[in-house]
Structure 1
Amino acid sequence: MNKDIQAYNDAQSAADSEICNVLMAEISRNLPEAESKIWHAHPVWFIAGNPIVGYSKLKAGIRLMFWSGADFDEPELKINTGKFKDAAITYTAVEQINPDDLARWIEKSKRIQWDYKNIVKRKGVLLRLNP
Structure 2
Amino acid sequence: MNKDIQEYNDALSIEDKAISDLLAKEINRNLPEAENKIWHRHPVWFLNGNPIVGYSKLKNCVRLLFWSGQSFEEDALQVEGSFKAAEVRYTSVEQVNIKDLKRWLEKSKVIQWDYKNIVKRKGVLERLM
Instruction: Determine if the TM-score, normalized by the shorter chain, exceeds 0.5.
Output: yes
1-side partners of 2:60 and 2:111: how far apart?
27
1-side partners of 2:80 and 2:29: how far apart?
26
2:109 matched residue in structure 1: 110
1:10 matched residue in structure 2: 10
1:67 matched residue in structure 2: 67
Per the TM alignment, residue 60 of structure 1 is displaced from its structure 2 partner at its CA by 2.6
Instruction: List runs of 5+ in structure 2 lacking aligned partners.
Output: none
Per the TM alignment, residue 59 of structure 1 is displaced from its structure 2 partner at its CA by 1.1
Instruction: For 1:47-58, list aligned pairs within 5 A.
Output: 47-58=47-58
Number of matched residues? 129
2:47 pairs with 1:20: no
Per the TM alignment, residue 90 of structure 1 is displaced from its structure 2 partner at its CA by 0.3
Instruction: Give the superposed CA RMSD.
Output: 0.6
Moved over 2 A (4+): none
1-side partners of 2:62 and 2:56: how far apart?
6
Instruction: Give, as a single letter, the amino acid of the residue that structure 2 aligns with 1:88.
Output: E
Instruction: Give, as a single letter, the amino acid of the residue that structure 2 aligns with 1:7.
Output: E
1:85 matched residue in structure 2: 84
1-side partners of 2:69 and 2:81: how far apart?
12
2-side partners of 1:60 and 1:113: how far apart?
29
Question: Secondary structure at the residue paired with 1:85?
Answer: coil
Q: Deviations 1:42-93 (Å, cap 9, x if unpaired)? A: 00000000000000000130000000000001000001242x1000000000
1:99 matched residue in structure 2: 98
Per the TM alignment, residue 4 of structure 1 is displaced from its structure 2 partner at its CA by 0.2
Return the TM-score normalized by structure 1. Answer: 0.97
Return the TM-score normalized by structure 2. Answer: 0.98
